[in-house]
Structure 1
Amino acid sequence: MFEGSSRYSLLIMSIIALMAASVGLLSAIPLAELFMSAAAIIFLRKRFNVQVVIPTSLLMFIQVMLGISVGATISLSELSHTLNPAVILGLVICLTLQTSCSYWWLHHKEKWNPFESLLGAVPGAMAAILVISESGNKPSPKVVYSHSVRLIILIVLAGFISNTTADVAIEHTAIGWQQWALLSGVIVISMFFGKLSLRFGIPAPYMIASLVIAAFCNSYISEIDLAVPSYIVVFATALLGSLIGARLAETTLREALTYSKAGVFVTIIGLLVAAVTSYVASYVLGLSWVVVLLAWVPGSVEAMTAVALLLGLEPAFVMVNHAIRLLLLYTLPVVLKNRLEQLREQQ
């Protein structure tokens, strides 16, 4: 009935994302828009055989908006007040151990190939990982399931800790024309440098370019606050859900259960490593263990910062640590470009 509808993939995904984003804006359920849009794409594929192809323009939009959203949370003044070299070193050690232990499990126990094991092991940067995986033109439902399961578990844990979901709903704030002008300028500049970076073969070029440019503006343009309207972030998140759904739709139930099991074990490994390293760091640096744990657990910036706010546990420290973690993970494809290419060729 819907054969050939892949030509209308962008339209289909945009409509679904708009509907899911509307629900996300009106509900207090964390990331409802992401899971609803993913479920809708899977339903269309399984029930009506709709073949959805991920358009390049969609990936570009997601990269730019998520990059700006993360970059807008980073400023040099906040970094100087909340971080020191010892904390950054501890965060890097935690990330290294989480990735190494998860990689070992996926490669040696789950028998994943090296490339998929590395992508599935990287803790808590699903947007960046999806873009990296997509650049290889080889869909990897294993990686998507691993990160999706981890995201679901961490959202549930965050809701359990805060004991409420109403307080973590997105705060809808209006922005003025000056902020719109600044945001538009950042988008245009990000597109330019992203396209320029693409010529040099840099993975996730639009995301990295927009993140760096947004962070620079947030640090040096004090007259105007760089902000991304909440409904745009929600819409981009819903589009990300559509991308996830398009990747998961080709997976059988048996494969889904197998990949979900791997995701559960990887999540447990990441949480255990975060708990141990944060405890040692809190003892050495004289910080609160719960605060460091929230700052280093492989969750999203929004969810972990919301929990810190609810519990009164230094939300600025938690937010900046997660922003630095995402910054490190988003630049990982550049640092390990040659190694990633070698692993991809081994598939």
Structure 2
Amino acid sequence: MPRSAVFSGIATLGIGTLGGLCFFWLNLPLPWILGSLSATALISLTTEFRPALPAGWRNVAHIIIGTMLGAGFTPEVISGAANWAISILAMLLLSAVFFAVNYWAFRRLGRMDRTTALFAAMPGGMAVMTLLAEEYGADAGKVALSHISRVMVLLITAPFVIQAISGIDVADANQAAFTNAESIIPRQHGILALAAVLSWFVARRIPIPSAMLLVPLFISAALHMTGTIYAHVPPHLSNLAQIAVGASVGTRFGGYRLLDIVRHGWMGAVVAVFMAAGALLAALILAPLLGYGSAALYISYLPGGAPELSVVALALMIQPAMVAAHHVIRIFAIVLALPLAARIVKRQDRQGPDG
């Protein structure tokens, strides 16, 4: 790895950490991810320095988060997992509605071409959509800004909505992670660390989206479901992963002017508000019918990034296993639907422009 990349990565983590510490000191919600995101985005937009994290460092953060999420799949949680089916079906239907409305909005209001609107409208899979957009002939810049603004709006608003509908004091959760931290148990945490390292080697060889998040999730979940271990990722390591995830979103603003962000990102923010309202309405309606808390359903239905919103569930301890299951299934559904949707769009393009 070039020395410049290492320096840039260290500086970026330092900026993210300072942002997290500021948010923590101010007792703001989700300080490590939102503080890091805000600080790196601010530096990206207002200075010549371009924060950046080496891909390998981001992968380590995803490995940690996947391992953390897997720890939520305890035998007690799995015994009730069959009841998630109706909620997951509702999430998939809601995601289809989100996509249809988003596509219309990006086409008619955002004046995007069909292919760009297709990738910008997908309710999730920010990294996958951004990577594949150019390959399919979409405007990658517009797609990236649409997804970045969507995730940023959802991440910033989620804690306040959660506090309003559940009564959870999201600020108190900042201290709880430290005051309720479990002791280090060498054998338990040693197995967890080995599982994380194994996950990294396996994920490198599996060509599936979000492998660095999903493989450790599955391995950690298997260990916890079977009762082999019960240990969790230590809070300081968890916070470092959150800082890296927040920074990875904030660094995406690098290279864009504020005018570009306003011009191409405003529709992403608008559809994010629409999707947040739809997720909230669905959660409030289904919570009493399904017997789950409205906050857990709200985070499960929010079409944000799987790592980012899973971190929200972990930080606030709102049924992270259920939330992760919903987001993992959404990612797979999007990846499976994308080729078919792209073929339909290409066929429409060959038939000529519409009005």
In 2 relative to 1, CA 345–90 (structure 1 residues): closer, same or farther, beyond 3 Å? Answer: closer
What is the rounded CA distance, in whole Å, between the counterparts of 1:82 and 1:102 in structure 2?
Answer: 31
Q: Does 1:229 align with 2:234?
A: yes
Amino acid at match of 2:255: E
Is 1:72–1:215's contact at 8 Å kept on the other side of the alignment?
A: yes
Q: Kindly state the Cα deviation for residue 51 of structure 1 after the two structures are TM-superposed.
A: 3.4
Q: Kindly state the Cα deviation for residue 194 of structure 1 after the two structures are TM-superposed.
A: 0.6
What is the rounded CA distance, in whole Å, between the counterparts of 1:256 and 1:223 in structure 2?
Answer: 48
Task: Find the counterpart in structure 2 of residue 215 from structure 1.
Answer: 221
Is 2:34–2:155's contact at 8 Å kept on the other side of the alignment?
A: no
Match of 1:264 among 265, 269, 273: 269
Question: Any idea what the Cα deviations from partners look like across 1:223-271, whole Å, max 9, x if unmatched?
Answer: 4214112222221121122222221132222233345532332233223
Task: Find the counterpart in structure 2 of residue 274 from structure 1.
Answer: 279
What TM-score comes out, normalization by structure 2 length?
A: 0.74
Amino acid at match of 1:212: F
Q: Does 1:40 align with 2:45?
A: no
Amino acid at match of 2:59: M
In 2 relative to 1, CA 302–116 (structure 1 residues): closer, same or farther, beyond 3 Å? Answer: same
In structure 1, runs of 5+ residues without a counterpart are: 310-314
Q: Kindly state the Cα deviation for residue 203 of structure 1 after the two structures are TM-superposed.
A: 2.5
What is the rounded CA distance, in whole Å, between the counterparts of 1:306 and 1:240 in structure 2?
Answer: 13
Report the number of matched residues: 327
Match of 1:153 among 130, 153, 157: 157
Match of 2:126 among 120, 125, 129: 129
Q: Kindly state the Cα deviation for residue 215 of structure 1 after the two structures are TM-superposed.
A: 1.7
What is the rounded CA distance, in whole Å, between the counterparts of 2:78 and 2:95 in structure 1?
Answer: 19
Task: Find the counterpart in structure 1 of residue 258 from structure 2.
Answer: 253
Q: Kindly state the Cα deviation for residue 167 of structure 1 after the two structures are TM-superposed.
A: 2.4
Amino acid at match of 1:202: I
Amino acid at match of 1:145: S
Percent identity over the alignment? 17
Q: Which moved more, 1:290-299 or 1:52-61?
A: 290-299
Task: Find the counterpart in structure 2 of residue 189 from structure 1.
Answer: 198
Task: Find the counterpart in structure 2 of residue 58 from structure 1.
Answer: 57
Q: Which moved more, 1:336-345 or 1:29-38?
A: 336-345
Q: Kindly state the Cα deviation for residue 144 of structure 1 after the two structures are TM-superposed.
A: 0.8
Q: What is the SS of the residue equivalent to 1:331? A: helix
Q: Does 1:97 align with 2:101?
A: no
Amino acid at match of 1:219: M
What TM-score comes out, normalization by structure 1 length?
A: 0.76
Task: Find the counterpart in structure 2 of residue 17 from structure 1.
Answer: 16
Is 2:148–2:249's contact at 8 Å kept on the other side of the alignment?
A: yes
In 2 relative to 1, CA 25–178 (structure 1 residues): closer, same or farther, beyond 3 Å? Answer: farther
In 2 relative to 1, CA 103–235 (structure 1 residues): closer, same or farther, beyond 3 Å? Answer: farther
Task: Find the counterpart in structure 2 of residue 202 from structure 1.
Answer: 208
Question: Any idea what the Cα deviations from partners look like across 1:291-334, whole Å, max 9, x if unmatched?
Answer: 78546541735656887x8xxxxx65xx4442221221343465
Q: What is the SS of the residue equivalent to 1:250? A: coil
Is 1:74–1:320's contact at 8 Å kept on the other side of the alignment?
A: yes
What is the rounded CA distance, in whole Å, between the counterparts of 1:232 and 1:25 in structure 2?
Answer: 16
Is 2:153–2:273's contact at 8 Å kept on the other side of the alignment?
A: no
Q: What is the SS of the residue equivalent to 1:100? A: helix
Is 2:300–2:322's contact at 8 Å kept on the other side of the alignment?
A: yes
Is 2:67–2:220's contact at 8 Å kept on the other side of the alignment?
A: yes
In structure 2, runs of 5+ residues without a counterpart are: 135-139, 348-355
Q: Kindly state the Cα deviation for residue 107 of structure 1 after the two structures are TM-superposed.
A: 3.8
In 2 relative to 1, CA 58–301 (structure 1 residues): closer, same or farther, beyond 3 Å? Answer: closer
Q: Over aligned residues, Cα RMSD in angstroms?
A: 3.8
Q: Kindly state the Cα deviation for residue 22 of structure 1 after the two structures are TM-superposed.
A: 4.4
